Every structure is written in structure tokens, then in C-alpha cells.
């Protein structure tokens, strides 16, 4: 029982990361109807942004690991990733917007390869030790909890889950209650009609990329708190898993992406803990195939009829 | 016809008088760059010493090094290049068993002796009679750690294996075999794959099995994260491992979480013998750092080759191969090396422990 609960906690903290990355896939798909395959590499850029800025930012807040310093690193990485996302969209995707969707998709794969190999060139292919921005340790649970007191919950896990919830709430507020959010929703329903109503399409798309990339950057930092070893290829696997999460939840659907991420994370932890770790990746991708076969719209997505 | 013959003769003597070309392939960049950089530094130091002392057979040794970028497929390409273009008389390399296994058939085909400094998987030298190594093999290493665990009174061991590495699977297999045969208990077997970053699910399962120690025969990149996450999950027992732990980034990532853990290896810079002290001094003077196992093995591989060339009196592959095969009681920095009929080194292992940000010598285990 305790072991099972522990696996749920493990899965939840990993799933939170997938959820954050999955949001970027789903938001871009929502407005542009294409899969930004370079998104996983933005997550990698986030981790490296933290790697390079952390020593400076931590020295502003007294040098050692601290919550204030960690928050600064998180914000810096999110800002840098948002900028990267906007630049990539401006340079690589916008000129192709009039082209068939397949062209943009292939361009995205190109950007992804460029970031991975450019990363190996500039950052080095060796795994780097991510600086300790928060003193991670297990939280002492009160003895009055009986056998549940033997559960292990680390500060890192709490921060990951907590930050994810805060970021999700913020995103929901933006999409639901701001003018830009309304423009995003309008664009996802009908881009032409939205632009006829005076929506500045380019600005809204840039904003979407900025938000999605910032969330991926946050995921990069939150992962590195728990797993302080980063390398330029770390985005490949995480990106694919998050993509599966987005499809599972219903691509284009924001709560769906978050739900999909958590489900994939928990599923992975249970497979590794109880069945066999080598089945972890095959199972995740089997989920993708099953969803596409039986419920292509995903768990929370609405079935959409293709307009002819 | 006289002219060409004269010319040709002159050319041959020119080649004989020139340096002896030795090829080296190593992972100088990429995921296992830590291994490759170390072994290369050791090898280079040995070659420089040999040349400073007048070379072998009156000729200097020229070391031609190629980087395989830690990538599968590269060793085959660059070893072919070393043999066909650079005309090397012998090959030194690699650390990782999977890379040595790629290069070995090519060396065997061309009858060029190859000496691996640190590939411990048994299959490497089984490729053919031109393939040698100066390190011990996995069955020995696995057994040494099992024996060590039993001596410490640990009865229940959990094993965490990297299923993508022949090295890790081999070590785990021989550890488990010996441990079970001697009345021990393997309470949980868990697996992971190279490149994984989150090990909490495996470690949670291992923690629930309440082991006395955990055997983690992986490479440094993953072991450091495993150690860190084990400590966070409150798994307080020591971790045990093999020579794959030795890497630059091991302690950088793991911090203090590996303190009190043990691993088997080839060499300890704490060793008080004169030979090791000299080697450590020279290495420090040249590179400003303390040599690790891979550096020591790289050094020994070059020294054994030089000795064999001296014994053979020629660089022709037949006699040279014979001379390497008959290496006996070579006093290397990693111990007394004797090559057995299977071309594996029979020699002692050392057990090291981790603490105060460094490795410390615990004991030597004879074969």
C-alpha cells in the first residue's frame, strides 16, 4: 500500500513535467493546427538557460541555494525560452504559413535537429551537473500519520507539483479571462474569421509560442531540480512523451494536456515499479497508438468534423 | 632496372628508420568522454616516457589518436582508417566494451594486434588471437563484489542493472550467481536503460524490499543520479558497483550522496607502491590532476605493447602478437599483469570507498 502510494507520488511529479511540456504542443496545435516538433528541445534550452544563469542569479540572493534564487532562475529560463520560441516561429514557421501544413511540420523537425546538434556544439555533448538551486531533501512527515509517515515526499517533488498547479491556473486565467486569451480561442475556431474581426493574428500566434515555450522552459528547470544532470539531447524523449500526453488528453485541449501528462507519468511509474522497466517506453507509445485507433480526439477533446 | 630497385630499397630503409606508428581510438568527446580522455592521457604519458628513454628498437613511437565521439559505428570506421591509411602496427583502445567489440573483428582480419585498456566484457578477446586486454574481466569483478558483500555480513542485496550495456548485464549476472551460490539472498532485481534520468520508481520498489546493500553495476552518468535519488527517497544502505563508476562527473552530480558506498576497480592513486607513486607524480606534473583507473590502464596498455616490441625485436605482426601473448608478470601501475591463454589479464582488483569528495583505498583482492 505504502509502496503503491509512493509510486503514485513519483508518477505525479514526473507527470507534472510532461503536463507542462504537453501544454505547449497543444496550444500551438490549437491555433496553428501543426505539431511543433522542436518543442521538446525548448525544454532542453530551458534547462541550459538555468545552468548558465543560475550561478549569477544565486549570487544576487546570497550565493547558496534558496527559494528566491530558484524563483529568479525559473523566471529567467522562462523568459529566455519564450524569446527562443517567438524567434523560431518568426524565422522558421511564419514564412511557411501559406504553405501546406506538411511543409511546416518538416521545418519543425529541422529546427529540432538544429537545436539538438547546435546544443551539442555549444554546450558540449557531455552531461553537465545542474547547479543546486534548492537544497532538495525529504520532508519529515508527522509520526501521527501512522504508516503513512514512512512515505517520502521531497521538497523538489512538492515544488514541481506546486509550480505546475500555479502555472496551469495562470494559463487558464489568461486563456479564459483576457482579451488575448479570447483572441487565441477565436483563432483556434476560425483563423480567417478571427482576422476579419480585427484580431492581430501574428501577434496572437507569437504570444502563443511565447507562453508554450515559457512553460517548457519552466519544465526544464523543474526537472533539473530533481535530476541534476542535463545534456543537449534530453528533450527528445521528454518531448515525445509529452506529445503522447497531449494526444491522450485531446490535442488542442488545455486541461486535456495536463490530464494526459499526469496519466502518462503515473503509468510509467507503475510499469517500472511493478512490471518491468524495459516496458516503460513501449507502453507509453502503445497508448499513443491505441488512442489514435479508438479515440483520436483524446480523452477530453471534442470530435471535430473536417471541413471540406 | 637498377634505379627503381635502388630507389625502392632506400624507401624501405627510410620507413624502417622512421617512427613506429601505433594507433589509438578513444571516446574523446560525447557521453563517455570522461573514460576516453583519461585513457588517452595515460597512453600519451607512457608513449612520451618511452620516447624520452630512446624509444624502442632505436625508433620513437608515434601515437596516432582518433576520436570515436562515443558513437556506435565510429570505431569501425576509424580503426579501418588507422590500419589502411596510417599503416599502424598495433591498435590501443577502447574503454567501453561495445566499442572494442566493433573494432576487434577489423583488427583480427588485418592481423593487427589490438590491446584494449579497460573493456571488461568477456566477449572482447573471444573475437580472435590478435585481441588482448590489460584489465580483468566481468566474471572476476562481479565475483569480487559479491565476496566483499558477504564479508561485510550483507545477506540481502537488491540489484539495479542497466539493460542497455553488456557490461552492466554481465557484472550483475556474475554477482548474482556467486552471491546465491554462497547462501546470500537477492531480494529485488530492477532495471533501467542508459540515458534514463528518473529512477525513483525502481528505487521505491528496491526500498520496499529492505536490502542490506544495493548492487548498481552501471556507468557514472546514471549512477550519480541513482545515488542522489536513493538518498532523497530515504534508502540509506550502501551502493556497490564496478569500474564503470569512475568518471569525472560522478561526484559532481552525486555530491555527498555516494559517501559510504563501495566499488571495485583497477587502480588506486592512494596505493603506496613506488611505481604507483611515481606514476601519480608524473601524471600530476603533466596534467595537473590525479590519474584515475582509465588513465592507469591506458598507461599500462602502451607499456605492454612497447615491451612486446622489444621482446619481438621487430614490428612484424606475427612475432609481435606472440610477444604480447607471452607477457608475464609485467609490473604495471595497475598491478602485476600476466596474460592468460584467453588473452585476458590475470591481476588483482582494488575496492575503493567514497568519502570527503574522493575515492579511498579499502583493500586489494587477488584473483
Rounded mean pLDDT for each run of 10 residues along chain A, 308 residues in total: 87 94 92 90 96 90 83 95 96 91 92 93 84 82 77 87 92 92 90 89 93 95 90 91 93 90 94 86 92 89 62
Note whether residue B367 is domain-resident: no
Same domain (yes/no): B102, B20: yes
| B147, part of any domain | yes
**A154, closest residue in chain B (CA to CA):** B232
Same-domain pairing of B203 and B236: yes
Partner B, chain A 237-256, Cβ-Cβ below 8 Å: 237
Q: Is A152 within 8 Å of B234 when comparing Cβ atoms?
A: yes
Q: Does any domain span residue B352?
A: no
- The Cα B359–Cα B352 span in angstroms is 6
Structural contact between residues A236 and A116, judged by C-beta atoms closer than 8 angstroms? yes
CB-closest option in B33, B233, B249 to A129: B249
Q: How far is B34 from chain A (nearest CA, A)?
A: 8
Partners of B320 in beta bridges: none
> Are residues B222 and B303 part of one domain?
no
Number of structural domains (chain B) is 2
Q: Is A140 on the interface with B (CB under 8 A)?
A: no
- CATH number, domain of B203, equals 3.40.50.2300
**Do B147 and B65 share a domain, yes or no?**
no
| B237-281 confidence digits (pLDDT tens) | 999 999 889 877 788 888 888 999 999 998 888 877 888 999 999
Question: Is residue B277 a part of any domain in this protein?
Answer: yes
Residues B205 and B235 in one domain: yes
Task: Write out chain B's pLDDT in tens, 367 residues.
Answer: 445 544 454 444 445 568 999 999 999 887 778 889 999 999 999 999 999 999 999 999 999 999 998 888 899 999 999 999 999 999 998 998 889 999 999 999 999 999 999 998 899 999 999 999 999 998 899 999 999 999 999 999 999 999 888 889 989 999 999 999 999 999 999 999 888 888 988 898 899 899 999 999 999 889 999 999 998 888 989 999 998 898 777 888 888 889 999 999 988 888 778 889 999 999 999 999 989 889 999 999 999 999 999 999 999 999 999 999 999 989 999 988 999 999 999 888 999 999 888 888 898 887 7
Q: Do A277 and B197 touch (CB under 8 A)?
A: no
> Is residue B359 domain-resident?
no
**What are the tens digits of pLDDT across the range B176-191?**
999 999 999 999 999 9
Identify whether B24 is part of a domain: yes
Please indicate, yes or no, if residue B357 is contained in any of the structural domains: no
Contact state of B232 with A2 under an 8 Å Cβ cutoff:
no
Instruction: Choose among A40, A49, A45, A38: nearest CA to A20.
Output: A40
Where is the domain boundary, B237, B265, B293? B265
- Which pLDDT score, from 0 to 100, does residue A12 have? 93
- Beginning with the edge strand found earlier in the chain, give each strand of the sheet holding B131-133 in spatial order: B61-67, B20-26, B90-92, B114-116, B131-133
Chain B: residue whose CA lies nearest to A281: B193
Selecting from B69, B192, B232 the residue whose C-beta is nearest the C-beta of A277 gives: B192
Instruction: Provide the CA A297 distance to its chain's centre, in angstroms.
Output: 20
Give the domain range for residue B290. Answer: 2-136+273-347
Are residues B102 and B205 both part of a single domain? no
**For an interface test with B, which of A126, A141, A155 has the most B Cβ atoms less than 10 Å from its Cβ?**
A126
Number of alpha carbons in the 13 Å side-chain half-sphere of residue B241:
28
Residues B302/B47, Cβ–Cβ less than 8 Å: yes
Residues B292 and B333 in one domain: yes
Fold of A2-294: ABC transporter involved in vitamin B12 uptake, BtuC (1.10.3470)
This model of the complex carries an ipTM of 0.75
In chain B, residues with a C-beta closer than 8 Å to the C-beta of A14 are 198, 200
Contact (CB<8Å) A10/B232 = no
Find the CB nearest A272 among B197, B202, B255: B202
Amino acid at each position: 500500500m505504502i509502496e503503491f502510494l509512493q509510486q503514485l507520488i513519483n508518477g505525479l511529479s514526473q507527470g507534472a513535467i510532461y503536463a507542462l511540456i504537453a501544454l505547449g504542443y497543444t496550444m500551438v496545435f490549437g491555433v496553428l493546427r501543426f505539431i511543433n516538433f522542436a518543442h521538446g528541445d525548448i525544454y532542453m534550452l530551458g534547462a541550459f538557460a538555468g545552468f548558465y544563469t543560475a550561478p549569477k542569479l544565486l549570487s544576487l540572493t546570497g550565493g547558496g541555494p534558496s527559494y528566491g534564487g530558484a524563483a529568479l532562475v525559473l523566471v529567467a529560463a522562462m523568459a529566455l525560452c519564450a524569446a527562443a520560441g517567438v524567434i523560431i516561429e518568426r524565422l522558421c514557421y511564419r514564412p511557411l504559413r501559406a504553405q501546406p501544413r506538411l511543409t511546416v511540420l518538416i521545418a519543425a523537425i529541422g529546427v529540432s535537429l538544429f537545436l539538438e546538434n547546435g546544443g551539442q556544439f555549444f554546450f558540449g555533448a557531455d552531461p553537465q551537473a545542474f547547479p543546486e538551486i534548492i537544497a532538495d531533501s525529504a520532508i519529515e512527515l508527522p509520526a501521527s500519520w501512522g504508516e503513512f509517515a514512512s512515505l517520502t515526499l521531497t521538497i523538489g517533488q512538492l515544488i514541481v507539483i506546486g509550480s505546475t498547479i500555479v502555472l496551469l491556473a495562470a494559463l487558464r486565467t489568461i486563456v479564459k479571462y483576457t482579451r488575448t486569451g479570447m483572441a487565441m480561442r477565436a483563432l483556434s475556431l476560425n483563423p480567417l474569421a478571427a482576422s476579419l474581426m480585427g484580431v492581430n493574428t501574428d501577434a496572437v500566434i507569437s504570444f502563443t509560442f511565447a507562453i508554450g515555450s515559457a512553460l517548457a522552459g519552466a519544465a526544464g528547470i523543474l526537472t533539473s531540480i530533481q535530476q541534476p544532470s542535463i545534456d543537449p539531447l534530453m528533450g527528445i524523449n521528454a518531448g515525445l512523451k509529452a506529445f503522447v500526453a497531449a494526444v491522450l488528453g485531446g490535442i488542442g485541449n488545455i486541461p486535456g494536456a495536463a490530464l494526459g501528462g499526469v496519466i502518462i507519468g503515473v503509468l510509467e511509474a507503475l510499469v517500472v515499479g511493478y512490471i518491468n522497466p524495459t516496458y516503460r517506453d513501449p507502453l507509453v507509445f502503445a497508448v499513443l497508438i491505441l488512442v489514435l485507433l479508438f479515440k483520436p480526439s483524446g480523452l477530453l477533446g471534442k470530435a471535430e468534423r473536417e471541413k471540406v | 632496372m637498377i634505379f627503381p630497385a635502388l630507389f625502392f630499397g632506400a624507401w624501405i630503409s627510410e620507413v624502417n628508420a622512421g617512427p613506429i606508428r601505433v594507433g589509438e581510438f578513444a571516446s574523446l568527446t560525447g557521453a563517455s568522454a570522461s573514460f576516453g580522455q583519461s585513457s588517452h592521457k595515460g597512453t600519451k604519458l607512457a608513449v612520451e616516457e618511452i620516447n624520452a628513454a630512446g624509444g624502442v628498437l632505436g625508433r620513437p613511437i608515434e601515437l596516432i589518436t582518433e576520436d570515436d565521439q562515443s558513437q556506435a559505428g565510429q570505431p569501425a570506421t576509424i580503426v579501418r582508417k588507422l590500419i589502411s591509411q596510417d599503416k599502424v602496427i598495433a591498435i590501443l583502445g577502447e574503454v567501453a566494451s561495445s566499442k572494442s567489440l566493433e573494432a576487434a573483428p577489423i583488427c583480427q582480419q588485418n592481423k593487427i594486434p589490438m590491446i584494449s585498456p579497460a573493456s571488461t566484457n568477456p566477449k572482447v578477446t573471444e573475437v580472435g588471437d590478435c585481441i588482448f586486454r590489460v584489465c580483468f574481466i566481468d566474471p572476476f569483478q562481479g565475483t569480487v563484489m559479491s565476496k566483499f558483500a558477504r564479508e561485510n555480513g550483507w545477506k540481502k542485496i537488491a540489484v539495479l542493472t542497466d539493460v542497455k550495456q553488456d557490461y552492466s548485464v554481465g557484472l550483475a549476472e556474475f554477482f548474482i550467481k556467486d552471491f546465491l551460490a554462497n547462501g546470500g539472498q537477492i531480494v529485488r532485481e530492477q532495471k533501467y536503460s542508459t540515458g534514463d534520468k528518473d529512477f525513483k520508481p525502481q528505487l521505491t520498489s528496491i526500498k520496499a524490499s529492505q536490502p542490506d546493500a544495493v548492487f548498481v553495476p552501471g556507468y557514472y552518468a546514471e549512477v550519480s543520479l541513482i545515488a542522489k535519488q536513493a538518498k532523497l527517497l530515504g534508502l540509506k544502505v550502501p551502493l556497490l558497483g564496478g569500474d564503470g563508476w569512475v568518471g569525472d562527473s560522478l561526484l559532481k552530480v552525486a555530491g555527498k550522496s555516494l559517501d559510504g558506498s563501495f566499488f571495485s576497480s583497477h587502480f588506486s592513486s592512494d596505493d603506496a607502491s613506488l611505481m604507483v607513486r611515481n606514476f601519480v607524480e608524473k601524471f600530476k606534473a603533466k596534467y595537473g590532476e590525479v590519474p584515475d583507473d582509465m588513465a592507469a590502464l591506458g598507461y599500462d596498455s602502451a607499456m605492454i605493447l612497447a615491451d612486446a616490441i622489444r621482446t619481438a625485436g621487430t614490428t612484424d605482426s606475427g612475432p609481435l602478437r606472440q610477444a604480447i601473448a607471452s607477457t608475464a608478470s609485467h609490473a604495471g601501475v595497475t598491478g602485476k599483469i600476466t596474460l592468460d591463454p584467453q588473452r585476458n589479464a590475470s591481476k588483482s582488483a582494488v575496492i575503493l570507498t567514497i568519502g570527503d569528495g574522493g575515492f579511498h583505498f579499502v583493500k586489494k583482492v587477488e584473483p
